[in-house]
Amino acid sequence: MSNLRARGALDRARHLFLERPTVARKPNASATAVWQDGLRCQIAGSGGETAVTDMPASMGGDGTGPNPGWLLRASMAACAATAIAMRAATLGIELRSLSVAVHSESDARGLVGIDGVSTALSAMRMSVEIGADSTSREQLCELARWGEAQSPVGSTLRDRPPVSLEIFVV
């Protein structure tokens, strides 16, 4: 399979978005996590997507799914890879290979109620392995940098938009 299959659709989308910018905006995308049992959650998206999370047994879960921190790293990696593949297609670069890994460190002490310890993932780093024929090393590095910078997930984490909280007691 080739990333170039997306080129026509991306060109059409770009032209449409230039003519009618409001079409590009998605005002009500959502994901809802519903606690099931133990520490397992079933996640559903507004487009019918589904996923499951759980914590490992060492943290009181059953390990029936990835933990939410893993999903964040996976989301960052997949979003950057997708952005890179999309940009490559737009530029007419057929990728031979692409792999994006996201690594982090964490400290679970805060998660179990130990004061003064951040639960935030830290030391986040991304590595990109990319290959394409007839494309210079510099072009591929720029492509990887562009994809990381334009990835919606990575951009959201960098921009840190405020999150409003609504609580409904039932």
Over residues 99-128, the mean pLDDT reads: 95
Query: Token match 């720029």: residue?
Result: 142
CATH of 3-26+67-159, one of 3.90.79.10, 3.30.300.20, 3.30.70.270, 3.40.30.10: 3.30.300.20
Per-residue pLDDT tens over the stretch 55-112: 999 999 999 999 999 999 999 999 999 999 999 999 999 999 999 999 999 999 999 9
At residue 163, the pLDDT reads 95
- Is pLDDT above 80 for 1? no
Phi and psi for 99 in degrees, rounded to 5? -140, 130
- pTM greater than 0.85 (yes/no): yes
Pairing label, strands 122-132, 95-105:
antiparallel
Question: Residue 73, class by beta-carbon neighbours within 10 Å (0-12 exposed, 13-18 middle, 19+ buried)?
Answer: middle
At residue 114, the pLDDT reads 95
Per-residue pLDDT tens over the stretch 130-142: 999 999 999 999 9
Per-residue pLDDT tens over the stretch 19-49: 999 999 988 889 999 999 999 999 999 999 9
CA dist 29 and 25 (Å) reads: 10
At residue 101, the pLDDT reads 98
At residue 27, the pLDDT reads 86
Structure tokens at 151: 């990835």
CA dist 125 and 70 (Å) reads: 14
